[in-house]
Amino acid sequence: MIEQFTVNFTITNLQYSTALGTPGSNTFNATEKNLAHLLNPIFRESSIGPAYLECKVMAYRPVRDRGNTGVDAACTYRNDSTRPPFDRVRVYHEVHNRTNGVTQLGPYTLDEGSLYINGYNEAPALPSEYMS
C-alpha cells in the first residue's frame, strides 16, 4: 500500500513570485525539480529509505510579505506489514540533522523553525532569561 506524508518548510533566500506560485510554470517546475534532487537523498538515506518513493511540491506560498517562500510537499512511501510504522518524529530528526539544524538545503537557506513532517514540528527553544 502506498502512503503519503507531508513536508513543509520555509526558504528564506527564495523570494516568492507569481510564477513560482503557478503550478506548471517553468519557475515552479524548475524549482520543484531542484528541491526533489535535494530532498530525495535525505529521505532515501533515512529510516524510511527502502520504502521511500518520492516527494512532489504541491504548492509554494508567500511568507512574510513575499520575502520568503513556504514549500508544501507531499511525499510517498510503500507501507507494508514487514516495515515498522512511519515515525514522523524520527523522520523529523533525520531531516533536521541532514539540513544543518533546518538551516541549509543545498543553496537554500531555511527558517529553522519552519520544518513540519506530517504536522510534527519542534520549534527552536527560546533563550531563557536569567532569573535572580
pLDDT in tens, 25-75: 999 999 999 999 999 999 999 999 989 999 999 999 999 877 899 999 999
Question: Could you tell me the pLDDT band of residue 132, with boundaries at 50, 70 and 90?
Answer: very low
Confidence of residue 124 (pLDDT cuts 50, 70, 90): low
Query: What CA–CA distance (Å, rounded) separates 16 from 61?
Result: 7
C-alpha cell at 46: 533515512
What mean pLDDT do residues 13-23 have? 96
pLDDT for residue 22 is more than 60: yes
The matching CATH number, chosen from 3.30.70.960, 3.30.2030.30, 1.10.1740.10, 3.40.50.300, for 2-117 is 3.30.70.960
CA angle 50, 90, 38 (to 5 degrees): 60
Return all residues near 49 (Cβ < 8 A) that are at least 6 apart. 43
- Kindly report the CA angle at 85 between 59 and 106, in degrees rounded to 5? 40
Phi–psi pair at 120, nearest 5 degrees: -90, 135
- The percent of the chain in helix, strand and coil, each rounded to the nearest 5, is 25, 30, 45
Query: Which residue has 520549534 as its cell numbers?
Result: 123
